[in-house]
Amino acid sequence: MSKTIALSLAAVLLASVSGAGIAQSLKDEPIQPIEPAKVTNPGLVELGKKLYFDPRLSKSGFISCNSCHNLSMGGTDNLKTSIGDHWQKGPINAPTVLNSSMNLAQFWDGRAADLKAQAGGPIANPGEMAFTHELAVSVLQSIPGYVAEFKAVFGSDTVDIDQVTKAIAAFEETLVTPNSRFDKWLKGDKTALTAAEAEGYALFKDSGCVACHNGPAVGGNSFQKMGVVEPYTASSPAEGRVAVTKDEADRFNFKVPTLRNVELTYPYFHDGEAATLKQAVNTMGRIQLGKSFSDDENAKIVAFLKTLTGEQPSFPIPILPPSSDTTPRPTPFGM
Amino acid sequence: MSKTIALSLAAVLLASVSGAGIAQSLKDEPIQPIEPAKVTNPGLVELGKKLYFDPRLSKSGFISCNSCHNLSMGGTDNLKTSIGDHWQKGPINAPTVLNSSMNLAQFWDGRAADLKAQAGGPIANPGEMAFTHELAVSVLQSIPGYVAEFKAVFGSDTVDIDQVTKAIAAFEETLVTPNSRFDKWLKGDKTALTAAEAEGYALFKDSGCVACHNGPAVGGNSFQKMGVVEPYTASSPAEGRVAVTKDEADRFNFKVPTLRNVELTYPYFHDGEAATLKQAVNTMGRIQLGKSFSDDENAKIVAFLKTLTGEQPSFPIPILPPSSDTTPRPTPFGM
């Protein structure tokens, strides 16, 4: 056997062993890395991106999807509860759009099965964008730039709400955040976390946080009662999953939020009452796990949570096609 | 003389003649092309971009510079008058930020000498972002990502409002829109305009529009009375330049708006009362020039105006540094 072949064989063997080692260690972890988005229909995604940023989908012409799920701010508005049409105070904290395609359902109570079903909600909600699907479609249908783009993507001359929500959902599916320091660590780069951060992860697992916060999104994959060990008094009127199932057993059950990018998605909980990660970790420990974390433990868990910030979606700001002379004008102040 | 040298000489001569020809034709035109921005301090511009998109400069945490000067929509909000804190109705139409560095002064009444002086206005205006400079600075000072970036740019550990407005202005100075079809035509590409568009430009010049709408920004370089030939009844309470000079002769004098990207910056006039370019051209002809354009003339002028849409600023959406545990929280509802 030549020296070259021998070395190559050795390299292949090493790679297999090391690959298997990583695969094994990944399999043993309750959290899996986020994978980059695969775009199969770039035209659909581009159209959805424009719609996501277009305030003409609101009655006022002022509120877009990006107003409350701001991609400059972790896909949230960083407010306790959102601001809707005429400055109405929303009933609940806006969840992040980042990695939301991994959620088992959408909204805190899971009332939308998927992103497409979710996208139509705020447009027609009188407390949010305060429009109707019919009016939103009539606005888009009057804009030549959109009509051409819908035609190129869907092959049809008429725009409908199904196309609109499909495009927005397709864009939202691209909003994943791979390559966080934690994911690098998961994949084998043991230098990616500091000792304190790794200890924080161990505490996170050992304390039971991973019972609900697991999977690639570190949450988003189950409904759980808020206040298992100790009741939680919310500042929000939201009832949780019972609003959907009408089953009293689901009262105050909420979708477990993703912890990906949690450093960016403050304030926390469905009512936004926890301003900081320190508070959120303390409250969760107490009411969900019956644990009182020491300051040192809390700091380590928070340090770990901050390693979950991944690469934020990066793309040029979309340039929206202008309205035409026949486009219905927004009515921010009365009719 | 060799054939090659002779050909080269001929090419040089031709180039000179043609260059001189373009220079001459440009000199004769009342409108000059927009030149691309020259960035001398990229760190300052990047910081300014983040601040421009950051709603934490408002009391509510919901309104940023980009809310009313939206770079997805021609640097405007496409509303008659803007929406401010608590959904207050603004007194005036938000002018475009595009090419605004070319304005002789800022705001419709020119009350700010330059972009830096302008940038501080809306932050502290109770009807707009409703914050104070002191509170805005204290928010920024509490955000480690910003503190590091201000330090890198200004060499100082403390943030002040002068740095904030300087950075925003530096970003705004990059928001120019070169390479419109009209500019290509100006520079010698006679195929860049259709016959109707070129006729529209001739009408624009011959009718006297260029008396006020001239220079690279096609406006922005003088104050003029709204309603020279026939009085204009505005829906806005704005008094114009007299509010600054206290000289009654300046009553209802407004800064002539730029017509660059005018296809994107509807509705028109300081009160936003003209919904379409057709209306705006008709009204301007009547009240400023005593002219009644035929439908055909109006359509040609509008066709010309639409050739003034240039390349829109393109850059990745900025990712804002997260607040820290000590950052004062926004107070959108009360306080």
CATH number of the domain encompassing residue A141: 1.10.760.10
Q: Do A195 and A153 share a structural domain?
A: no
Interface contact A78-B61, CB threshold 8 A: yes
Domain extent, residue B82, equals 42-174
| Residue count (chain A) | 335
- Does A37 map to a domain? no
For residues B166 and B48, state if they share a domain. yes
The answer to whether the CB atoms of B72 and A278 lie below 8 A apart is: no
- pLDDT score, position A23: 62
Residues of chain A with pLDDT under 70: 1-27, 335
Provide the 3-class DSSP secondary structure of residue B45: helix
Name the band, by pLDDT with cuts 50, 70 and 90, for residue B20. low
Given a contact cutoff of 8 angstroms between Cβ atoms, the answer to whether B98 and B260 are in contact is yes
On whether the CB atoms of residues A242 and A251 are closer than 8 A, the answer is yes
Q: Is the pTM of this model over 0.90?
A: yes
- Chain-chain contact of A267 with B329 (C-beta, under 8 angstroms): yes
The answer to whether residues A165 and A199 belong to one domain is no
Nearest chain A residue (CA) to B61 = A79
Predicted confidence at residue B277, as pLDDT, reads 98
Confidence label for B36 from pLDDT (cuts 50, 70 and 90): very high
Q: What confidence tens digit (pLDDT) does each residue in B81-100 have?
A: 999 999 999 999 999 999 99
Q: Categorize the per-residue pLDDT at B22 as very low, low, confident or very high, splitting at 50, 70 and 90.
A: low
Within its chain, how far is the Cα of A71 from the centroid? 10
User: How far, in Å, CA of A208 to CA of B4, rounded?
Assistant: 83
Instruction: Specify if B37 maps to a domain.
Output: no
Expressed in angstroms, the distance from the first to the final Cα of chain B is 86
Residue in A29, A46, A128, A239 annotated catalytic: A128
Residue B7 has what pLDDT? 45
Q: Tell me what pLDDT residue A21 has.
A: 58
Window 251-280 of A, Cβ < 8 Å to B:
263-264, 266-267, 275-278
Phi, psi (rounded to 5 degrees) for A157: -80, -20
- Residue A64 gets the label, from left (phi > 0), alpha (psi -120 to 50) or beta, of beta
Q: Quick one: B68 exposed, middle or buried, by C-beta within 10 A (0-12, 13-18, 19+)?
A: buried
Please indicate, yes or no, whether residues B151 and B69 belong to a single structural domain of this protein: yes
What is the per-residue pLDDT for A47? Answer: 98
pLDDT in tens, A114-156: 999 999 999 999 999 999 999 999 999 999 999 999 999 999 9
B208/B107 same-domain check? no
> Are A140 and A200 within one domain?
no
The answer to the question of residue A28 being in a domain is: no
Q: Judge whether B251 and B74 are in contact, CB under 8 Å.
A: no
Same domain for B243 and B197 = yes
Element of type H or E holding B254: strand B253-255
- Under DSSP, is residue B264 helix (H, G, I), strand (E, B) or coil? coil
State residue A5's pLDDT score: 46
Residue B87: list chain A partners with CB under 8 A.
86-87, 332
Residue B28's pLDDT is 86
For residue A267, say if its preceding peptide bond is cis, omega within 30 degrees of 0. Answer: yes
ipTM of the complex: 0.93
Question: What size, in residues, is chain B?
Answer: 335
Average per-residue pLDDT for chain B: 93
A5 and B CB contact within 8 Å: no
Chain A hits for B77, CB-CB cut-off 8 Å, are 55, 61-62
Rounded Cα distance between B315 and B241, Å, is 35
> Same domain, yes or no, for B215 and B157?
no
Q: Is B248 a catalytic residue?
A: no
Query: Do A135 and A239 sit in the same domain of this protein?
Result: no
In a domain, A130, yes or no: yes
CA–CA gap between residue B250 and residue B226 (Å, rounded): 10
Supply the pLDDT for residue A9.
44
Residue B11 lies in a domain: no
Rounded CA gap, A271 and A220, in Å? 17
Question: Residue A8 falls within a domain, yes or no?
Answer: no
Q: Which helix (H) or strand (E) holds B10?
A: helix B3-28
Mean pLDDT score, B266-270: 98
Residue ending a domain, choose from B109, B142, B174: B174
Residue B22 inside a domain? The answer is no
What pLDDT does residue B2 have? 47
- Alpha-carbon gap, residue B170 to B47, rounded angstroms: 9
Residues A203 and A256 in one domain: yes
Q: Are residues A46 and A170 in the same domain?
A: yes
In whole angstroms, what is the distance from residue B63 CA to residue B307 CA?
Answer: 32
Residue B28 lies in a domain: no
A273 to chain B: closest CA residue: B329
B139 and B246 in a common domain: no
* Residue after which a domain boundary falls, among A115, A145, A174: A174
> How many domains does chain A contain in total?
2
Q: Is pLDDT at B18 greater than 90 in this prediction?
A: no
Averaged pLDDT for residues B306-310? 98
